[in-house]
Structure 1
Amino acid sequence: MPKQMPCPDNCNILLIGGGGREHALAWKIAQSQKLGTLYASDCSNGGIAALATPCPEQWDASRVFYMSRWCDQHDIHLIVVGPEVPLTEGITDELTTETRLVFGPSREAARIEGDKSYAKELMRQASIPTADSRTFTNYDAARGYLLRGLDRDLENEFKQPLAKEVTEFIEWCSEVEKKEFVFSDELLDILIHREDPCVVKACGLAAGKGVIVCNTVGEALDAVTLIMKDKAFGDAGNAIIIEEMMIGNEVSVLALVDGGTIWVLDLCQDHKQVGEGDEGPNTGGMGAFCPAPLLDEEMLNYVEREILVPAVDAMRRDGIEYRGVLYAGIMLTSAGPKVLEFNCRFGDPETQPLMARLQGDIVDILWRTASGTLDGADLDFSDDVACCVVMCSEGYPNSYEKGKPITGIEQFQGQDNTMIFQAGTNCTSDNLVTSGGRVLGVTALASTVDEAREIANSACKKIHFDGAFWRSDIGCRKNKKSDSATSVSGD
């Protein structure tokens, strides 16, 4: 357990990660009165490069000694970890010392994001409301589960006993024995298009894309094949979760946890799907706004009392002290709030509007969280609404080209109400070019979400790279209790 020690006045910080979330953190850290020198492990990002000194050592679980030695040589006091992968690999365990803190949970605590089956079991044991689900490590068993009860449904459809080959097919699905059958077109159509909404999730980390929403049995079967057989997400799909589809409004609840104190930040709403109106496949996030007026004080207290506190307490009972960000993706269903997923770090793109609105010294806040002294921190947010619109490369979230020159960013430097956070960019000797699917997080501040979105969309039109696209409807959802949206959360 790290010592409870005060934050030094000239705090040297190493930032791990090179995306839009990390640029937003670097931007806010650079404003701190407590900052000594800011170093960054990835300065290929042009925005981070303008704020930080490069660290030659990249995080690699096999090179812990070298990064630890570099931190010692440069008198690093605090390491701030953005992405989830280093946390699940144990960067906090390996680099925390008597004089150095790491902002982010331990390897064991980070399992709450890194292993969805572990998170589901933790929620079950702690009686945390979540979707009913089953976990599978066997491809055929998962397919058999999706086809459960098919004989009853088909008999109801045809109003007569099933043909022998269909009965045998269903038995094969249950017994996982390979047989071959010939189906009529009518039977095949029912097999594939029978409505049975569910969500199929890769249990491991899949960069926010390992969740597939399925409306029919056929779609679910295809999702299982894509994840488990085709290995679309690599080893992250060695195990999957099949869970009921939840309906309602989705909200991102991020809290700072110092092992005991839980400090809930202003609510955000992410927009996962690539297309306007929440159409198309999941992405890492196409935009977010904050604050999202989805929970009144009573319901927010319920989320803290029935979801966040039980999760932290359940880990503590297992000897795991949670320090860092605990991010709960919540679906506001007709039966009340239920957990879609837990993450062990700041969200991306939620961090961008959060940092744009955050008041107080971020270095002091991060230090207090890591040191177990969060109680009494100066943490507040501006009254403005922040809206982040993500500009993407053509083809995202599938394949896309890199190296497209980016122009127009410079006109927004120094503006109080518009911030351009770089994500998938690479700063070359000649210019700034695209290097990822999500390229820029164009973030605007205004008195209302509609005004902030209008400013952000207007800024997007003034920035150019070939094939750029974005969603112009961030924050346009009708977030009323009577309205509904399908569960689409990813990692």
Structure 2
Amino acid sequence: MRVLVVGGGGREHALVWKLAQSRHVDRIYCAPGNAGIARLAECINLQATDISGLANFASAENIDLTVIGPEASLIAGIVDRFEARGLRAFGPSTDPARIEGSKGFAKELMVRYGIPTAPYRICGDAESAHDAVRRHYAAHPEPGFRIVIKADGLAAGKGVTVATSEEEAHETIEAMMVRRVFGEAGDRVLIEECLDGHEVSVMAITDGETVVPLAPAKDHKRVRDGDQGPNTGGMGAYSPVPTLPDTIVRDALELVLKPAISAIRDLGIPYKGVLYAGLMVTSEGIKALEFNCRFGDPETQVVLPLMEADLFEVMDAAVNGRLDEIDLAVSDQAAVCVVATAGGYPGEYETGLEIQGLDRAAQLESCTVFHAGTRECDGRICTAGGRVLGVTAVGKDLSAASSAAYMAIDQIQFAGMHYRRDIGG
């Protein structure tokens, strides 16, 4: 089988890495790919949003299955366009992908179908948003009261602020809705009650009827140790999550994931692909924070190494409506991924910096280096993004996996390199 993976980050490297292990897959292409992916697949000079170019390539090369990584491609309608041309693609079509493309749409769906979530308000202009903030803080004058402000649209994983003061909340609204730091994504904002508890991600693969959960994972969004500093696309992840109750996967499946898939099916368009649920385990039980229509990054980099099933077989079954025939076994080991970023990320950063030590890190037992923002520069591998790479290690438990991941990432150097020291610890 010939497979095309769309995207060029760490998530896509992990997908290519796992698909390359399938006995069914003869050749893998990746568009646009990166320097690490190029060792496993043929990288194609097409951007993930060039849907016409990607469809033409898939048709010309007789691609059997296209796997879409980035949410922007899904929301832009890549699956619809591929299917219209008789091309098979793993991922939801445009309408159900709105569950990530609009946080307001997702919240309304949760409330309508009884999926537990935090109380919220949608604001379409800065004046009403400021008024909502004033009302929240007037009703809760106690010190330390927090609210969550979310840009309605896609903001590269950075459109959520947990405001710890009324002043910060008003400043966030000004940034999103007046200065438009996230562009159209901030045309509307959601203002939510801040939930207390343990946050966890549970991804599931579905064919629109059967919903099969993957191993739960915990990711770290903040740039600095101790969950301090600004939000990022993700500084690391680990799986499993031992601090959570044993029922977490069952509860996520029955209370959140299955109802969400049923709700989307009621709209008349089955959801096929990955549904990612961001959850908070509170004293009142599990509550949904958000949905994503694709594999998480960096959660994928810890979940796929623990998957014992053939990923191509799983995806093929989902596309063909046969997921009930698949046994998606998960290893009882643990995995930890530590992400290395460019200095200055998530703000301004330099690119084109040579990366050293990649081969030394990859040679360590049970360790894999997943490239994200990398490219080849005159025979050398250089930085090309904010999140540069992630090192994943698998071990008998989280402690062993974490130790191995840090031993590996310590082999890697580039100017300004930054990573957290507390992932999986």
TM range (shorter): over 0.9
Query: For 2:423 and 2:58, how far apart are their aligned partners in 1?
Result: 40
- Matched with 2:76 is 89
Contact 1:113 1:343 in 2 (8 A): yes
Matched, 1:17 2:7: yes
Query: For 1:317 and 1:152, how far apart are their aligned partners in 2?
Result: 37
- Matched with 2:160 is 211
- Matched with 1:48 is 37
Aligned CA-pair RMSD: 1.8
Matched, 1:459 2:400: no
- Matched with 2:204 is 255
Contact 1:389 1:441 in 2 (8 A): yes
Query: For 2:368 and 2:405, how far apart are their aligned partners in 1?
Result: 9
- Matched with 1:238 is 187
- Matched with 1:161 is none
- Greater mean alpha carbon deviation, residues 260-269 or residues 68-77: 68-77
- Matched with 2:21 is 31
Contact 2:301 2:337 in 1 (8 A): yes
SS in 1 for 2:410: helix
Contact 2:49 2:72 in 1 (8 A): no
SS in 1 for 2:286: strand
- Matched with 1:130 is 117
Using the TM superposition, give the Cα deviation of residue 430 of structure 1 relative to its aligned residue in structure 2, in angstroms: 2.7
Query: For 2:393 and 2:139, how far apart are their aligned partners in 1?
Result: 54
Query: For 1:406 and 1:14, how far apart are their aligned partners in 2?
Result: 27
Query: For 1:152 and 1:89, how far apart are their aligned partners in 2?
Result: 40
Using the TM superposition, give the Cα deviation of residue 275 of structure 1 relative to its aligned residue in structure 2, in angstroms: 1.1
Query: For 2:109 and 2:140, how far apart are their aligned partners in 1?
Result: 34
- TM-score between both structures, scaled by the size of structure 2: 0.96
Using the TM superposition, give the Cα deviation of residue 467 of structure 1 relative to its aligned residue in structure 2, in angstroms: 0.7
Using the TM superposition, give the Cα deviation of residue 21 of structure 1 relative to its aligned residue in structure 2, in angstroms: 0.3
Question: Share of identical aligned residues, percent?
Answer: 43
Using the TM superposition, give the Cα deviation of residue 303 of structure 1 relative to its aligned residue in structure 2, in angstroms: 2.1
Of 270, 275, 286, the match for 1:337: 286
- Matched with 1:470 is 419
Query: For 1:301 and 1:295, how far apart are their aligned partners in 2?
Result: 12
Q: Gaps (5+ residues) in structure 2?
A: none
User: Where do 1:57-72 residues align within 5 Å?
Assistant: 57-60=46-49, 64=52, 66-72=53-59
Query: For 1:153 and 1:292, how far apart are their aligned partners in 2?
Result: 33
One-letter amino acid of the structure 2 residue matched with residue 52 of structure 1? A
Q: Gaps (5+ residues) in structure 1?
A: 1-10, 155-192, 477-491
- Matched with 2:99 is 112
Using the TM superposition, give the Cα deviation of residue 300 of structure 1 relative to its aligned residue in structure 2, in angstroms: 2.9
Alpha-carbon deviations, 1:108-130, whole Å to 9, x = none? 01100010000000001001111
Residues 151 and 432 of structure 1, relative CA distance in 2, 3 Å threshold: closer
Matched, 1:73 2:55: no
User: Where do 1:174-213 residues align within 5 Å?
Assistant: 195-213=144-162
One-letter amino acid of the structure 2 residue matched with residue 69 of structure 1? N
Of 388, 399, 409, the match for 1:450: 399
One-letter amino acid of the structure 2 residue matched with residue 424 of structure 1? G
Of 222, 243, 250, the match for 1:273: 222
Using the TM superposition, give the Cα deviation of residue 412 of structure 1 relative to its aligned residue in structure 2, in angstroms: 3.4
Query: For 1:98 and 1:144, how far apart are their aligned partners in 2?
Result: 49
Of 281, 292, 314, the match for 2:241: 292
- TM-score between both structures, scaled by the size of structure 1: 0.83
Of 142, 145, 165, the match for 2:129: 142
One-letter amino acid of the structure 2 residue matched with residue 354 of structure 1? V
Of 321, 331, 337, the match for 1:388: 337
Using the TM superposition, give the Cα deviation of residue 152 of structure 1 relative to its aligned residue in structure 2, in angstroms: 8.0
Query: For 1:337 and 1:71, how far apart are their aligned partners in 2?
Result: 41
Contact 1:134 1:243 in 2 (8 A): yes
Residues 152 and 310 of structure 1, relative CA distance in 2, 3 Å threshold: closer
SS in 1 for 2:325: coil
Task: Give the number of aligned pairs.
Answer: 425
Query: For 2:243 and 2:321, how far apart are their aligned partners in 1?
Result: 30
Using the TM superposition, give the Cα deviation of residue 47 of structure 1 relative to its aligned residue in structure 2, in angstroms: 0.9
Contact 1:101 1:367 in 2 (8 A): no
Residues 266 and 296 of structure 1, relative CA distance in 2, 3 Å threshold: same
Residues 199 and 275 of structure 1, relative CA distance in 2, 3 Å threshold: same
